[in-house]
Structure 1
Amino acid sequence: MSAIRVLLADDHAVMRAGFRMILEAAGMEVVGDAATGAEAIDAARSLRPDVICMDVQMPDLDGLEATRRIVAAPEPGPAVLVVTTFDRDDYLFRALEAGASGFLLKNAGPEELVAAVRIVAAGDALLAPEVTRRVIARFAAASPPPASPAAHARTATAVRAATATPVAGLTERETEVLRLLAAALSNGEIAARLYIGEATVKTHVSNVLQKLGARDRVAAVVWAHRHGVVGD
């Protein structure tokens, strides 16, 4: 298996050097670095890494806009892991809207950084349970509350029914996979839970995303919570 190819985008040289040391010690190949968002876009195009570790606050073009442009490119591109010092909701939601595959704080340990890069390189999303709750809370806040206790009861009944039956358009197994995605399980964890292979899980996830019209796993999780497939 070839080494994961990583591009480091951060305007602090010391931070890039530290990340390089950690990732290369874990057997990954750091193919280049960038100090601005514009440099990250150019490097992504020329170096074709598997993963970009993207800072947010950088000169010329911030990392969130750089992420949006990289993900929106017509040709398949790298997964973007946003790595920032700032635990801010606006950064989190803008990163997800831009198409980032993960969101990690710089106070994470070396093992967490390595694991995060591996997760997004494998096509999974780095969506920790606490981040999931914040994403769902954001969408829930935008939804109007039930008009009456009776309406609330009807909503609760609908949620219970939805969690007991397959989602329209999805098979029973795909619905199971969607619920486990919404619980922030990785492909490996889903495979273990359902006693199936990881390759089969990947196929189910791909089918779920296609049927829901979801861009990525994060969008599928939001869809599941918005439509009552799982409870908040």
Structure 2
Amino acid sequence: MVPPVQSDLRVLIVDDQSMIRGGFEALLNAQEGIEVVGTAADGAGITEVVGRTRPDVVLMDIRMPHVGGLDATRAVLAMPGTPPRIIMLTTFDADEYVFAALRAGASGFLLKDSTPQELVHAVRVVAAGESLLAPRVTRALIADFVGRPERAAHPEAMLSVLTERELDVLRLVARGLANREIAGELFMAEQTVKTHVSRMLSKLALRDRTQLVVAAYESGLVRAGQ
């Protein structure tokens, strides 16, 4: 369940299609507790726009002319202070740029043909600090790492700060399991799983669950087919 929102969530929409921008803006502005504070047609000057509008969440199209979503995402997440959370917008569920964006720190992705309910849910979930990573994207992310020779051979170097129990939880997070499913697998309370996830994020200085998945595969802790 998404935690209740105490104040208006500020959303910035970045997409080169005016109909997408207008449609998303009208839909989100009609929701209680959400305000669209700006729109942009591409990633040019994105840091200035973010600095001026101070959004909590950015809906960022991946494929745009001039400055695309991937470069814009990197620029936003490199800004000082606490950057907004970024949801990538794409028309393809296996878009190669999605995975690069997730590695760069985006909090998730959303297909442009998602339902209005899915769009609103995505904004609230990501603003609440969760990641938005569907199981099919997790599987594609795994496949993407299969062919990467630079994966670490010894996960202990990257994950040495984690306890054995945290590593158990991380392996299941990397498989795309939800907290409730992990609790069932490891015979522990769901709240205990949440605590382990929070501690791992803190220890590894990661932003959200999506980056935990990336870390698990980049470290070599988990490999495709396990």
The TM-score normalised by the length of structure 1 is 0.76
Asked whether 1:21 is paired with 2:15, we answer: no
1:169–1:231 CA distance, 2 compared to 1 (3 A): farther
1:195 corresponds to: 189
Secondary structure at 1:207's aligned position in 2? helix
- Calculate percent identity across the aligned residue pairs: 49
Secondary structure at 1:16's aligned position in 2? helix
Question: What amino acid maps onto 2:8 in structure 1?
Answer: A
Displacement of 1:191 after TM fit?
9.6
Residues paired across the two proteins, number: 209
2:125 corresponds to: 119
**CA separation in 1, counterparts of 2:57 and 2:17?**
19
1:64–1:230 CA distance, 2 compared to 1 (3 A): closer
1:156-175 alignment runs, 5 A limit = 169-171=161-163, 174-175=166-167
Tell me which of 8, 14, 23 is aligned to 2:13: 8
**CA separation in 2, counterparts of 1:54 and 1:223?**
23
**CA separation in 1, counterparts of 2:168 and 2:30?**
37
**CA separation in 1, counterparts of 2:56 and 2:183?**
26
The TM-score normalised by the length of structure 2 is 0.77
2:143·2:224 contact (CA, 8 Å) conserved in 1? no
2:212 corresponds to: 220
Query: RMSD of the alignment, in Å?
Result: 3.1
| Long gaps (5+) in structure 1 | 145-166
Tell me which of 141, 147, 164 is aligned to 1:135: 141
1:183–1:49 CA distance, 2 compared to 1 (3 A): same
Question: What amino acid maps onto 1:170 in structure 2?
Answer: L
Secondary structure at 2:86's aligned position in 1? strand
Displacement of 1:137 after TM fit?
1.4
2:42·2:64 contact (CA, 8 Å) conserved in 1? yes
Question: What amino acid maps onto 1:205 in structure 2?
Answer: V
Higher helix fraction: Structure 1 or Structure 2? 1
2:90·2:111 contact (CA, 8 Å) conserved in 1? yes
2:70 corresponds to: 64
1:84–1:94 CA distance, 2 compared to 1 (3 A): same
Question: What amino acid maps onto 2:221 in structure 1?
Answer: H
Question: Quick check: which has more Rg, 1 or 2?
Answer: 1
Secondary structure at 2:13's aligned position in 1? strand
1:35 corresponds to: 41
1:154 corresponds to: none
